[in-house]
Chains A and B, each alone.
Chain A
Amino acid sequence: MARAVTTRRKTINTVAAWAIGLLIFFPILWTILTSFKTEAQAINDPPLILFFDWTLENYAVVQERSNYMRFLWNSVIIAGGSTVLGLIIAVPAAWSMAFVPSKRTKDILMWMLSTKMLPAVGVLYPIYLLFIELGLLDTRIGLTIVLMLINLPIIVWMLYTYFKEIPGEILEAARMDGATLKEEILYILTPMAIPGIASTLLLNVILAWNEAFWTLNLTAAKAAPLTAFIASYSSPEGLFYAKLSAASTMAIAPILILGWFSQKQLVRGLTFGAVK
């Protein structure tokens, strides 16, 4: 029997949860609101909440002055490229570990996880040096490779936990019915694996989009993605809150939307399947 919940208690829960939720969300809300103000209104005291002259001017100014689209494009290429590249390498690996496990499978998985724990700053100079030698410094391809490598363990792990859930009996049944290997992969495994691959893709685009150690240290003007572009606002000139807000809103909006779709996968991906 489900517990009867009094309306009163439900009301208290609702009020408390909404108040805390809005408090936590407030900095984001405030950034979005400020992006529609003029610079003078942005620093007005008392602060203007809703009643100001809404303007889109800041978005135009940010694009015009800093060529925002180029940074956005860099972010898209680097985050998307590193994820796709990672998937191409990780899908076969996770596949074989899930369906043809050997005694060493577990050790290999654990070892992959351990590479993720390597502190980036410990290998900063070697990577920096290698990038200079190979002409990769401040290139999108260089950053794509690095982000692919740092996220590869998470991609393999997530895919592995998803593939592991595909029951092996289905494959055997298909084989009994005379399915060839090609048919088996095309008609049975692929459709069952697509949700897992999609979740992995989503989470890794988010992680790569927000990565802010290598993107800050390995790029300058050419290949800088949005993380580095926003960081350039840390030494501003004149009034800039509204413009900072507009730039920030554009940088986080796509990921906020993607992120809301990936809550569940986030837990699985970031705890390496330990919490589901």
Chain B
Amino acid sequence: MATQHSRSAARIMMAPAVILLLGWMLIPLTMTLVFSFKRYLPLRGGDLGWVGFENYVRFVSSSAFWPSVQTTLIIVGGVLVITIFFGILLSILLDQPMWGQGVVRILVIAPFFVMPTVSALVWKNMFMDPVNGLFAHLWKAFGAQPIEWLSDASLFSIILIVSWQWLPFATLILLTAIQSLDSEQLEAAEMDGAPPLSRFAYITLPHLSRAITIVLLIQTIFLLAIFAEIFVTTSGAFGTRTLTYLIYQRVLESQNVGLGSAGGVYAIILANFVAIFLMRIVGKNLDT
């Protein structure tokens, strides 16, 4: 029923969004690609000509590269495991009948709305500070030596902060998925004498698998890019330099744009790898 007329009108209505996003994607991406094949030091001579794949080789062979990959994997993996594991438990608990469900939901969801710089600074100073932090008070109360969280247990601390921010997201999505589960199925299983653990393993968990996959993929994309949490806590020191942070340092701190851009291309490839899986799931959903 769509006429030729309405089709061309539709095209015109779509044009601004498409053109803007195309420009936003293509212009910087092309520049990054061009820079990555150049020796480009804005503060020390500027554009010093083409160097082929030298930046790509140097970025990977620098002593900072593999540790940063490892740090990235530990942080992303740690946060994913914690948020999904506790997210499942918490969403099941929140789905149970109780008094004040709405209020508890609000309490649980709140950290997601705290801006990253605030949560990083609050945790860093008011909780993890080895002299005045709340954890230090707590440790001293039990006669233990306070821990220097952000230097001695830096990765754990960052994982804790980031997990606190993302647990609400995982919980909220899993809770939404659980609420769409048909409770009659669970009741039938209960009548047939299935113990709680098997009801969980054979009914709830399979029902949640799609939501879990979505949480996993979306969080991975956001977690690969975490920046502010590291910027204001350790600035990449004490083994917390992720790939994102390493690229940031190469580009803006040491102003080695060629090298940083090569790193940027690696990061883009990595993100795309995850994105393909996510898009496939989202795309399937579009057909229905």
| A276: chain B residues within 8 A (beta carbon) | 176
Is B107's CB within 8 Å of the partner chain A? yes
How many whole Å from A181's CB to the nearest CB in chain B? 10
Measured in the bound complex, the distance between the Cα atoms of B31 and A229 in whole Å is 30
Is A96's CB within 8 Å of the partner chain B? yes
| B109: chain A residues within 8 A (beta carbon) | 259-260, 263
Binds B, one of A54-62, A185-193, A250-258: A250-258
Measured in the bound complex, the distance between the Cα atoms of B10 and A244 in whole Å is 50
Measured in the bound complex, the distance between the Cα atoms of B4 and A100 in whole Å is 10
Measured in the bound complex, the distance between the Cα atoms of B29 and A89 in whole Å is 23
Is the beta-carbon distance between A244 and B98 smaller than 8 angstroms? no
Measured in the bound complex, the distance between the Cα atoms of B262 and A19 in whole Å is 48
Count of residues in B whose CB is under 8 Å from the partner chain: 106
Interface range, A side: 35 or more
Interface 0/1 of A105-132, CB less than 8 Å to B: 0101110111101111111111111100
Measured in the bound complex, the distance between the Cα atoms of B20 and A92 in whole Å is 14
Measured in the bound complex, the distance between the Cα atoms of B168 and A245 in whole Å is 22
How many whole Å from A244's CB to the nearest CB in chain B? 6
Q: Is the interface of B mostly helix, strand, loop or mixed?
A: helix
Contact of B97 among A13, A252, A264 (CB under 8 A): A13
Contact of B187 among A3, A14, A216 (CB under 8 A): A3
Is the beta-carbon distance between B252 and A124 smaller than 8 angstroms? yes
| A10: chain B residues within 8 A (beta carbon) | 96-99
| A96: chain B residues within 8 A (beta carbon) | 9-11, 13-14
How many whole Å from B136's CB to the nearest CB in chain A? 8
Measured in the bound complex, the distance between the Cα atoms of B114 and A230 in whole Å is 12
Q: Is the interface of A mostly helix, strand, loop or mixed?
A: helix
Is the beta-carbon distance between A231 and B125 smaller than 8 angstroms? no
Is the beta-carbon distance between B115 and A24 smaller than 8 angstroms? no
Is the beta-carbon distance between B105 and A117 smaller than 8 angstroms? no
How many whole Å from B36's CB to the nearest CB in chain A? 10
| B20: chain A residues within 8 A (beta carbon) | 89, 149, 152
Measured in the bound complex, the distance between the Cα atoms of B232 and A227 in whole Å is 11
| B110: chain A residues within 8 A (beta carbon) | 24-25, 28, 256, 259-260
How many whole Å from B5's CB to the nearest CB in chain A? 10
Is B80's CB within 8 Å of the partner chain A? no
Is the beta-carbon distance between B264 and A124 smaller than 8 angstroms? yes
| B28: chain A residues within 8 A (beta carbon) | 123, 126-127, 130
Measured in the bound complex, the distance between the Cα atoms of B190 and A42 in whole Å is 52
Is A219's CB within 8 Å of the partner chain B? no
Using CB atoms, name the residue of chain A closest to B168: A24
Contacts A118-B25, A120-B227, A252-B113 supplied; 5 other A-B pairs, CB < 8 Å: A3-B187, A216-B231, A231-B121, A260-B106, A275-B210
What are 17 sample pairs from A and B whose C-beta atoms fall under 8 A apart?
A: A10-B96, A24-B164, A24-B168, A92-B16, A118-B25, A119-B225, A119-B271, A122-B29, A123-B264, A125-B32, A130-B28, A156-B17, A212-B117, A216-B231, A226-B115, A248-B122, A274-B214
The 7 A-B pairs at the shortest CB distance, nearest first, are namely A96-B10, A122-B264, A259-B113, A126-B31, A123-B28, A212-B228, A92-B13
Chain A interface (Cβ < 8 Å from any Cβ of B): 3, 5, 9-10, 13-14, 16-18, 20-22, 24-25, 27-28, 30-31, 34, 43, 45-47, 89-90, 92-93, 95-97, 99-102, 106, 108-110, 112-115, 117-130, 149, 152-153, 156, 206, 209-210, 212-213, 216-217, 226-228, 230-231, 233-234, 240-241, 244-245, 248, 251-252, 255-256, 258-260, 263-264, 266-267, 270-276
